């Protein structure tokens, strides 16, 4: 007799029963194996930071616990520049924009005597660093907008594959922090959806986020401009990137962007600079177990040292002021010391 | 006498014979049951529409096939009003806004003599329907903005739980189309991420999308306004909904919103009106197997009948003009006839 024709046990009941028996066994086995296997954070030294991450994950995933967070609410957000990868001496995307200028001038020769393109073409980094904000905005508009999304994606992918950081002589996408990659994987293995919430361009970061961090484009929230839908010469739909800002995903823009793009308050958030402050505040204002972490770049030897918190050198790129450090201490956010908490910085070391 | 002691038919022979007879019967039964149970779209009549859905799913998920789509690229987008649930005689969200007016006037009595609130308070649906667009915009701004996101979510959830459609006398969230619920589940069971891409308010739809469609808030793209981050009286961060439009998620706004919020071109898209046209065009312009479907409301008896395509009555709510029907026919989009393609409309039938 077919068991599914059993008068009492329907096919559905049978499978439900089987699932009820097998799933807990599978979960128990997986958890035993996981425990026996290595530490999920092998690149972290034992200390307050590592302990906080592990305790947070355990507190929020232990079924029946007071601070349990249902799987669908497990949202963790990560700033990118300076939190997941190197941001000094300059954000990679700014280097992309500078690198685009020669091609841009080739296409529009009239630009070669116009600022900021004239200065950028000299290659004089000091002069470039002194360009006023309104000239820099012209540079961003000229290199990041005015083309179709497909054209932009192709250009950015080509650059990302070829460009190299001058200090490590490696693609920028290899300059991600191994300890943070471990945190991303550890959270995902525990049912967390990991998001990038970056002041960088949303379209730019989406080009490499999946391959670099295992974070798909739909989980990248960033500074975003509008696009315009129209039809190309072949009649096919195209989206053109416009120089009109929709979301400046820095400071207050981070929680605003999280609401717009995710619609849930994160349970954990990671940053490294003043631009991440509001995201961490917003995260911590929710109920239950929460985790807010800030990475302090205090390792001039293995990476860079800048603050100006804790007497570290001041910087315009990814500043971590003492005021932010004090807020962290007061509010129970964890400051990660790159020097003390990280055994190694990069995967290739 | 025990039949197994029969001198000619041994016990072994008896069972062999029994097995030879029973096993094929059992197999046939199981396979019949499986076929009946495994139909992923039981509320659909056999026909072009059902066949197109099944063939699309098979074509895009068969490993090694020419039209295989990797799991991470399986994005399917659904309009909501008129595609996933009833939109006639009026969009649910507009009814929400109208229903909010008495409380609004109670809080701000000076509004009771001001348009459009004065007309809305009369309850005269005909007069309300005649309100000019700029008065309706005032109504939307007053009922959908000016409060924190938490306050809005609480109000909208309360209304959603209590409000009932006057024709079916059921909560609006029960007026979802059972055949479309089956498509959502069928696609998800085949590795698709299902998104709502609605002209309705993103924040409004996110309130019930998970419970109603199994679609989490982060997979709802809709018309969205900006929010402002600040601190409440208790010092806790709040997000306030502002009357400033960021994305009008209709017509060209749909592909623009998809790019902004998802960053991938859908492989399948479902709509029912002229506001979905650009989303379907954008979807179909990608390479490989694609599916674009439009639901035609041609069933006055079980739901509503409106077009004006195919000689159906004209409407201001979810119009499906003949021009759109012709584009569908020309470009290989599938038109679903509610009357012919759907065995039943609602789960409660």
Contact indicator for B279, B79 with CB cutoff of 8 Å: yes
Distance CA B155, CA B107 (A): 14
**Residue of chain A whose Cα is closest to the Cα of B241:** A256
Q: Do B262 and A218 touch (CB under 8 A)?
A: yes
ω into residue B116 within 30 of 0, thus cis?
yes
Q: Is any Cβ of chain B less than 8 angstroms from the Cβ of A242?
A: no
Beta bridge partners of B337: B296
ipTM for the predicted complex comes to 0.89
Q: Do B229 and A285 touch (CB under 8 A)?
A: no
- The mean predicted confidence, pLDDT, of chain A is 92
Mean pLDDT of B220-247: 97
Sign of CA dihedral A40, A46, A49, A55: positive
**Residue of chain B whose Cα is closest to the Cα of A238:** B282
Q: Which of A220-229, B28-37, B146-155 has the lowest mean pLDDT?
A: B28-37
Mean pLDDT of B268-283: 98
Contact indicator for B217, B209 with CB cutoff of 8 Å: yes
Distance CA B235, CA B233 (A): 5
Mean pLDDT of B38-59: 97
Confidence of residue A27 (pLDDT cuts 50, 70, 90): low
Phi, psi of A257 (to 5 degrees): -70, -35
Q: Is any Cβ of chain A less than 8 angstroms from the Cβ of B247?
A: yes
pLDDT exceeds 60 at position B111:
yes
CATH 3.40.50.620 fits B48-85+169-341, yes or no: no
% helix, strand, coil for chain A, step of 5: 50, 20, 30
Q: Which of residues 52-91 of B touch A (CB under 8 A)?
A: 72
Q: For residue range A77-87, what is the model confidence (pLDDT) as tens digits?
A: 999 999 999 99
Pick from A263, A327, A331 the residue to mutate for testing the B interface (most B CBs within 10 Å).
Answer: A263
ω into residue A308 within 30 of 0, thus cis?
yes
Tokens of B31: 């396979």
Pick from B18, B229, B286 the residue to mutate for testing the A interface (most A CBs within 10 Å).
Answer: B229
Beta bridge partners of A241: A227
Contact indicator for B344, B43 with CB cutoff of 8 Å: yes
Find where tokens 């807020």 sit: A327
**Residue of chain A whose Cα is closest to the Cα of B215:** A72
Which of A149, A173, A282, A285 is CA-nearest to residue A224?
Answer: A149
pLDDT exceeds 90 at position B12:
no
- Name chain B contacts of A5, Cβ cutoff 8 Å: 29, 33
In chain A, at which residue ranges do the beta strands (DSSP E only) sit? 75-78, 164-165, 170-171, 193-201, 220-231, 237-247, 268-271, 291-298, 305-306, 334-337
pLDDT exceeds 80 at position B331:
yes
Topology of the domain comprising A43-85+169-341:
Rossmann fold (3.40.50)
Distance CA B110, CA B113 (A): 7
Q: Do A227 and B259 touch (CB under 8 A)?
A: yes
Q: Which of residues 251-270 of A touch B (CB under 8 A)?
A: 252, 255-256, 259-264
Q: Do B237 and A262 touch (CB under 8 A)?
A: no
Q: For residue range A157-195, what is the model confidence (pLDDT) as tens digits?
A: 999 999 999 999 999 999 999 999 999 999 999 999 999
Confidence of residue B38 (pLDDT cuts 50, 70, 90): confident
Contact indicator for B312, B298 with CB cutoff of 8 Å: yes
Beta bridge partners of A337: A296
Between these two residues, B36 and B317, which has the higher pLDDT value? B317
Between these two residues, B28 and A180, which has the higher pLDDT value? A180
Distance CA B11, CA A124 (A): 97
Q: Do B239 and A246 touch (CB under 8 A)?
A: no
> Distances from the Cα of B163 to the Cαs of B100, B118, B288, in angstroms?
12, 22, 43
- Which pLDDT does position B159 carry in this prediction? 98
Distance CA B46, CA A343 (A): 62
- Which pLDDT does position A4 carry in this prediction? 42
Q: Is any Cβ of chain A less than 8 angstroms from the Cβ of B30?
A: yes
**Residue of chain B whose Cα is closest to the Cα of A217:** B263
Q: For residue range B148-168, what is the model confidence (pLDDT) as tens digits?
A: 999 999 999 999 999 999 999
Q: Which of A16-25, B79-88, B261-270, B311-320 has the lowest mean pLDDT?
A: A16-25
- Which pLDDT does position A197 carry in this prediction? 98
Pick from B23, B215, B259, B261 the residue to mutate for testing the A interface (most A CBs within 10 Å).
Answer: B259
- Name chain A contacts of B193, Cβ cutoff 8 Å: 218
Contact indicator for B230, A281 with CB cutoff of 8 Å: no
**Residue of chain B whose Cα is closest to the Cα of A252:** B229
Q: For residue range A248-261, what is the model confidence (pLDDT) as tens digits?
A: 999 999 999 999 99
Mean pLDDT of A196-216: 98
Q: Is any Cβ of chain A less than 8 angstroms from the Cβ of B16?
A: no
Q: Is any Cβ of chain B less than 8 angstroms from the Cβ of A213?
A: no
Q: In chain B, what are the domain boundaries?
A: 3-34, 48-85+169-341
> How many residues are listed for chain B in this entry?
349
pLDDT exceeds 60 at position A211:
yes
pLDDT exceeds 80 at position B48:
yes
Residues 6+ apart with CB under 8 A from B244: B225, B226
């Amino acid at each position: 007799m077919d068991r599914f024709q059993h008068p009492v046990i329907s096919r559905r009941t049978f499978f439900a029963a089987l699932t009820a028996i097998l799933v807990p066994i599978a979960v128990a086995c997986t958890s035993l194996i996981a425990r026996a296997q290595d530490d999920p954070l092998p690149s972290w030294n034992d200390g307050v930071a590592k302990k906080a991450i592990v305790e947070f994950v355990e507190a929020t995933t232990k079924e029946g616990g007071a601070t349990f967070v249902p799987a669908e609410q497990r949202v963790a957000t990560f700033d990118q520049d300076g939190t997941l990868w190197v941001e000094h001496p300059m954000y990679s995307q700014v280097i992309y924009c500078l690198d685009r200028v020669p091609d841009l001038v080739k296409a529009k020769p009239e630009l070669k005597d116009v600022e900021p393109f004239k200065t950028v073409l000299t290659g004089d980094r000091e002069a470039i660093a002194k360009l006023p904000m309104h000239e820099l905005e012209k540079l961003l508009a000229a290199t990041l907008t005015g083309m179709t999304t497909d054209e932009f994606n192709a250009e950015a992918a080509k650059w990302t594959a070829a460009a190299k950081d001058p200090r490590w002589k490696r693609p920028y996408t290899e300059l991600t922090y191994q300890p943070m990659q471990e945190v991303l994987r550890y959270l995902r293995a525990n049912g967390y959806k990991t998001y990038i919430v970056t002041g960088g361009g949303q379209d730019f970061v989406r080009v490499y986020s999946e391959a670099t961090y295992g974070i798909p484009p739909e989980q990248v929230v960033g500074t975003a401009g509008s696009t315009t839908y129209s039809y190309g010469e072949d009649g096919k739909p195209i989206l053109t990137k416009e120089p009109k800002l929709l979301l400046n995903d820095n400071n207050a823009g981070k929680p605003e962007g999280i609401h717009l793009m995710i619609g849930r308050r994160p349970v954990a958030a990671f940053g490294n600079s003043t631009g991440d402050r509001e995201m961490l505040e917003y995260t911590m204002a929710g109920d239950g177990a929460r985790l807010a972490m800030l990475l302090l770049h205090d390792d001039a030897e293995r990476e860079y040292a800048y603050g100006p918190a804790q007497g570290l050198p001041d910087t315009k790129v990814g500043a971590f002021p003492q005021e932010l450090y004090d807020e962290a201490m007061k509010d129970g956010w964890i400051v990660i010391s790159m020097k003390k908490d990280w055994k190694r910085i990069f995967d290739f070391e």
